[in-house]
Amino acid sequence: MFIVISGPSGAGKTPLLYRIVEVYPNIKKVQSYTTRRVRRREIGGTYIYMTRNQFEEKIKENFFLEYNKVHKDQEYYGTGLNSYQKVIKEGCVAIKDIDVDSYKNIKANSNIDIVGIYVTVKNRNILFDRLRERGETEKTINLRLFDRVDYENSQSGFYDYVVYTDKFEKACDEVEKIIDAEFKKRGIDVKKNDVDKVKKPMF
């Protein structure tokens, strides 16, 4: 089983993913790679950073399960194939945030058992506020949001679930219920850690 989370920048994909990994001991994150710059306050281990040349060499080596150029800045993002295979071999459920186009491509062209969760917000101003909070420039915010949000939201119908993250804790509870139900469908044991849900998520 491969849990894929998608959504516009600032929707809370990364903090939601890390909350899930904290809660479920048998869910593990698949490694992400990118050519974009490191953000202020970014959660450690979110990405492995590469130059464009390094990334393109890895493409030639068939290193990635999926990859794509995302946003108008055309930075690469990708999923390590070996990292995905390692999680599955350990008998765990894989989880990863992936852009909408790569998600549709994997869903259509692989036999991977994917559960797609699309996360977004009802109040679009929240996205802008979250990106400013994490130190993005107005230029970057415009690149990531103005055209991209409408496109990404229009693709939400390809996903199994849509979750709104205007209220983060409520969204976390909803995603836990989704995962519990999907685990039970597949006969996977629902094991949970007791985690601190008070700390503020780092969007």
pLDDT in tens, 169-193: 999 999 999 999 999 999 999 999 9
Query: Residue 198: what pLDDT?
Result: 53
Helices (H), ranges, 7-71: 13-23, 52-60
Residue pointed to by tokens 């802008």: 128
Q: Please give the domain boundaries of the chain with CATH numbers for all domains.
A: 2-184 (3.40.50.300)
The rounded distance, in Å, linking the Cα atoms of 14 and 201 is 9
Q: Active-site residue 19, yes or no?
A: no
Token pair, residue 8, equals 């516009």
Q: Is there a contact between 167 and 122 (Cβ–Cβ < 8 Å)?
A: no
Catalytic residue among 40, 144, 148, 186: 144
Residue 63's nearest CA partner among 92, 49, 83, 37 is: 83
- pLDDT given at position 92: 97
Amino acid identity of residue 32, one-letter, is S
Q: What does the pLDDT read at residue 71?
A: 66
Look at strands 64-70 and 75-80 and give their pairing: antiparallel
Q: Tokens 């998600």 — which residue? A: 103
Active-site residue flag, 144: yes
Question: What confidence score (pLDDT) does residue 137 get?
Answer: 76
What is the number of residues in the chain?
Answer: 203
40 in active site: no
Stretches where the chain sits below pLDDT 50 are none
Of the candidates 19, 39, 52, 130, the residue annotated as catalytic is 39
Bridge partners of 79? 32, 66
